[in-house]
C-alpha cells in the first residue's frame, strides 16, 4: 500500500507491485494508475510511505484496493509520521521514500523513491513474520513453504545457465 498526504488530506492505494532497484542508493519503484482517486495526491507528493504487506495484512491490502471507501475512517488504524505521511499501524514493514523521479507509462506513472526511513515490525524470517502476499490472476494468494516449487537455491544449474556462466557456446 502506498500512502501520501496533500492539501485534501491523506490518500492510499494498494500497488500491484513494488520493486527494489538499487541498494546504494536505496531506491524502489512502483506505478500508479491515472484512474485512481489517490493518484493526483501521490504524484504531487515529495515523499510517500510504501507499506510492505504480508498475508497477515490482507485486510489492509483489500482496503487500499477498494474504490469509493474512506481508507482513513478508522482513526485508530493509522497515524501521521512527524513528516506528515500517513502510516498504517501493525503492518509488517514500511519505508518512507523521497520521490526522485516520475515517468509516464501509458495510463500509469512510474515513481522512483529514495528510501530515507524504514520500520520493520515483523521480519519475514521470524516466527511472527507472515507469509508473502501476492495478487495473481485477480485473486490474493499466500506464499510460503507450501507454495515452493522446484529445488532450493542450491540447485544444479540447467545447461543454458552453465553455458552462460562459462562463456562457452
Tell me the domain boundaries of the chain. Answer: 2-144
Give the pLDDT confidence score for residue 159 in this predicted structure.
Answer: 43
Give the pLDDT confidence score for residue 140 in this predicted structure.
Answer: 73
Give the pLDDT confidence score for residue 55 in this predicted structure.
Answer: 87
HSE-up of 116 (CA within 13 Å, CB side)?
A: 15
Residue 81 predicted with pLDDT over 80: yes
Q: Cell 489492509 sits at which residue? A: 60
Is domain 2-144 classified as CATH 3.40.30.10? no
93 contacts 19 by C-beta, under 8 angstroms: no
Residue 91 predicted with pLDDT over 90: yes
pLDDT in tens, 134-148: 776 777 777 777 777
Residue 53 predicted with pLDDT over 60: yes
Amino acid at each position: 500500500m502506498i500512502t501520501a498526504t496533500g492539501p485534501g488530506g491523506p490518500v492510499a492505494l494498494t500497488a500491484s507491485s513494488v520493486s527494489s532497484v538499487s541498494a546504494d542508493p536505496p531506491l524502489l519503484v512502483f506505478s500508479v494508475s491515472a484512474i485512481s482517486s489517490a493518484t493526483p495526491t501521490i504524484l504531487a507528493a515529495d515523499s510517500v510511505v510504501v507499506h510492505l504487506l504480508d498475508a497477515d495484512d490482507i485486510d489492509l491490502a483489500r482496503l487500499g484496493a477498494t474504490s469509493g471507501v474512506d481508507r482513513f475512517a478508522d482513526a485508530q488504524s493509522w497515524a501521521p509520521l512527524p513528516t506528515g505521511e500517513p502510516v498504517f499501524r501493525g503492518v509488517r514493514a514500511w519505508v518512507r521514500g523521497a520521490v526522485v523521479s516520475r515517468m509516464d507509462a501509458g495510463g500509469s506513472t512510474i515513481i522512483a523513491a529514495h528510501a530515507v526511513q524504514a520500520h520493520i515490525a515483523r521480519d519475514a524470517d521470524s516466527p511472527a513474520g507472515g507469509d508473502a502476499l501476492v495478487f495473481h490472476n485477480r485473486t490474493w494468494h499466500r506464499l510460503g513453504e507450501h507454495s515452493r516449487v522446484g529445488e532450493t537455491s542450491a540447485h544444479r544449474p540447467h545447461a543454458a545457465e552453465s553455458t552462460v556462466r562459462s562463456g562457452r557456446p
